[in-house]
Amino acid sequence: MKLAFSTLGVPGLPVPDVLALATAHGYHGVELRAHPEEPVHTGLGAAQRADVAARFKAAGVDVLGVAGYARVAAPGEDGPVLEEVRRLLQLAHDLGAPFIRVFPGGDPALPAAESDAIAARRLGTAAEDAAALGVRVLLETHDSHRTGAAAIRVLGPVGHAHVGALWDVMHTWLGGEQPSQTYAALAPHLGYVQVKDIASVDDSTPLPLGSGVLPLTECVDVLCRHGWDGWLCWEYEKRWYESAAPLPELLGRGREHLMRLLAEAA
């Protein structure tokens, strides 16, 4: 498996500095948080996009994905959501990234079946744009659809190779799923896996990998047992937790922990 980290852990850090961290600590790729407060977002012009892509290529680091904030199950008109997804797809294509991330964002006041239908309809439409650009749209296990069982209610009806799943191990665990259950649900659709660690159900402050309660060992075991050979991406949510330790000083130990889990599973 290949290892990446998300720029959510180093908010606002310029691209050259992000690449320096990746190369110094042996990460194969970076997930880019696409937000106007970050150096890379959908408002970048063609020359800026080409520069970012060239910097990654020169460093020998992959742009794993573009982590957007489109909410495909949210109530309202389809048009604005689809336009946001299209902008993310074009950005990913221009950067050479194989994936974009979208959230479910369903309204808890609506019946689950209605939110499922909204998300499936939009993702089915976006799939054609994704296929044309050679990028996959990944629905993250998050908020209204935090488990594999919930995500598959959307992904199953879509049934398109360019729409898949992003497994966030924290949310599936908080939703009561075991890694084996999540993998069974998402395996046919799995794009990549976001790993992280937290202190408890009630405290999601990010911790160094292996020092919290999330079932990372079980997750890696399941993936290895089934021969899955994709990406593990460390999403360290420093952006939302100012008191969390800085990610750069943890990256080396984090990579060592993941490599140890992979070796033990093998």
pLDDT at 73: 98
CATH of domain 2-265: 3.20.20.150
Report the pLDDT averaged over residues 194-219: 97
228 has a pLDDT exceeding 90: yes
| Span 137-185, pLDDT tens digits | 999 999 999 999 999 999 999 999 999 999 999 999 999 999 999 999 9
> What is the pLDDT of the chain when averaged over all its residues?
97
Cα 221 to its chain centre, rounded Å, is: 20
189 has a pLDDT exceeding 90: yes
Report the pLDDT averaged over residues 192-207: 97
Give the sign of the dihedral formed by CA 41, CA 46, CA 52, CA 57.
Answer: positive
Question: For residues 30 and 22, what is the distance between their CA atoms, to the nearest angstrom?
Answer: 7
**Structural domain spans, the chain:** 2-265
User: What does the angle CA 92 – CA 238 – CA 61 come to, to the nearest 5 degrees?
Assistant: 40
Cα 172 to its chain centre, rounded Å, is: 13
Assigned token pair, 213: 């309660």
pLDDT at 156: 97
**Percentage of the chain exceeding pLDDT 90:** 99
Report the pLDDT averaged over residues 24-28: 98
Instruction: Classify 139 as helix, strand or coil.
Output: strand
Residue closest to 250 by CA, chosen among 205, 207, 199: 207
Task: State the pLDDT confidence band at 50, using cuts at 50, 70 and 90.
Answer: very high
Task: State the pLDDT confidence band at 266, using cuts at 50, 70 and 90.
Answer: confident
Report the pLDDT averaged over residues 112-133: 98
pLDDT at 124: 98
256 has a pLDDT exceeding 90: yes
Instruction: Classify 89 as helix, strand or coil.
Output: helix
**Cα(first)–Cα(last) distance of the chain, in Å?**
11
User: What does the angle CA 263 – CA 265 – CA 266 come to, to the nearest 5 degrees?
Assistant: 65
| Span 73-118, pLDDT tens digits | 999 999 999 999 999 999 999 999 999 999 999 999 999 999 999 9
